[in-house]
Amino acid sequence: MKVELDLVTSAGGNIGSISRTLTRMGVPFRLVGAENPPDGSRPIILPGVGAFGAVMTSLKENEFDKTICKLVKTGTPFLGVCVGMQVLFDESEEAPGVQGLGLVKGSVLKFNQGKVPQIGWNEIQPSNDPSWERGYVYFVNSYYAQPTSDQVTLYNSNYYRTFCAAVQTDNITAFQFHPEKSGDMGERLLTRWLTDVA
C-alpha cells in the first residue's frame, strides 16, 4: 500500500496508539502541526482526545484550523478520529459558543441516558454504503455528532439511542470510535480508507 500520511499532532490526539498501529500496518507517515503544516500532498489523519473547546483552541494556533479547512476544501483526503470527528461539525454542547471547523453541517450533542461516557465495544452498522462491513469497535465518548443530513452518515451505532458513529462526504471520512484500539476490525477499516484514498 503506497500511501504516505500526514498525522496531525495539534489536537491533543493520542498520537502514540495511532502511530503504533500505522507502523504495524506498514503505513509511512510524518507528524504535522501548526509549526510544520501539511501541504496537501498526503492524506491527513486528525486524531482528537479531550474536549471540543480545547481541541479547537489548539487547532486555531497559528491559524492551523484555516490550513486544515483549505486543504480539505481543495480535495485532500481527510480522516478524523474521536474528537477529530466532532470538530468537523459546526458546534458542540460541550463548548457552547465555540465554533467547530464547519466542514460537516450539524451539531455535537451529549448523551443524556446511560453511563456517560460510553466506554467499550459497540456494534456499528453501515448506513448508506453496504460495502462497508459491520462489526464491533471501541468507543470512549460522552458526545455524539448529529449531522444535518443523514446522507453523510457512514455508520450508525446504538447507545440508548441510535447515533452517528462515522461520517463520509466527498474526501472527508471520520470515525467517532477508535480504529487504532479496535483490533482487526479497526485495522480493516483503516485499510479500507487507505485503499480508497490511494
Q: Which residues are catalytic?
A: 82, 178, 180
State the Cα–Cα distance between residues 113 and 192, nearest whole angstrom.
33
Cβ–Cβ < 8 Å for 106, 89: yes
For residue 181, CA distances in Å to 14, 47, 173 come to 11, 12, 18
Q: Which residues pair with 153 in a beta bridge?
A: 167
Degrees, nearest 5: CA angle 108-86-76: 140
